[in-house]
Amino acid sequence: MSERVSVYGELPDGGTILTTAEYLQTAESMRVQELIYGTLQVEDSPLFRHQNLLLELAVLMRVFVGQHKLGTVCIAPQDVILDAARALIVQPDLMFVSKARGEIISDHIWGAPDLVVEVMSPHPRIGKLQDRLHYFAQYGVRECWLIHQLTREIEVVNFKVFPNTAVTFRGVETIQSSVLPEFRISPELLSCW
């Protein structure tokens, strides 16, 4: 991707400042990139282990969602425009948008998915996890699953209860999801750890 400097200029650390419209005019890229309140952040591609685990979960979820006609499942890189006016665009690893909210999907996802999944790598991707969780909660994501590769755990964060709750599932424990309550998966079921 060729980075360009917008009318807003370049940051002291070499980062680029863009509006949402400018970001959406950049070339398509398979690299991980996000626009965090106007600051373009670009990172290297994830490692194979990360992508393999993500693909396995995405296939399982997509089959389930498709069989039950619940909505749409998508994987990164896919822009999720949480706040166009404030130039906040993220790329969660995996997203689910319910059929009832399908209108937010066009060339991009214009609004909060119902569910996002982040595969936690030994070397974190863009930004801090707490910041990402804050964006998800603030802009209406109902639930986030954190897939912890090193400990082989799935942490489910429910943003629709106050305070937000996080429950960690290990081994053969079936996760409890408020967004996909009938989707039966346990950490042990995933073979790509």
Domain boundaries, the chain: 46-189
Smallest CA-to-CA distance from 119 within 156, 140, 145 is with 145
Superfamily in which the 46-189 domain is placed by CATH: tt1808, chain A (3.90.1570.10)
pLDDT at 3: 40
pLDDT at 45: 83
Percent of the chain residues topping a pLDDT of 70: 90
pLDDT at 125: 66
Confidence of residue 123 (pLDDT cuts 50, 70, 90): low
Q: Which residues contact 56 (CB under 8 A, 6 or more apart)?
A: 190, 191, 192
Residues 154-180 have pLDDT tens digits of: 999 999 987 789 999 999 999 999 999
Percent of the chain residues topping a pLDDT of 90: 75
pLDDT for residue 1 is more than 50: no
pLDDT at 14: 53
pLDDT at 25: 92
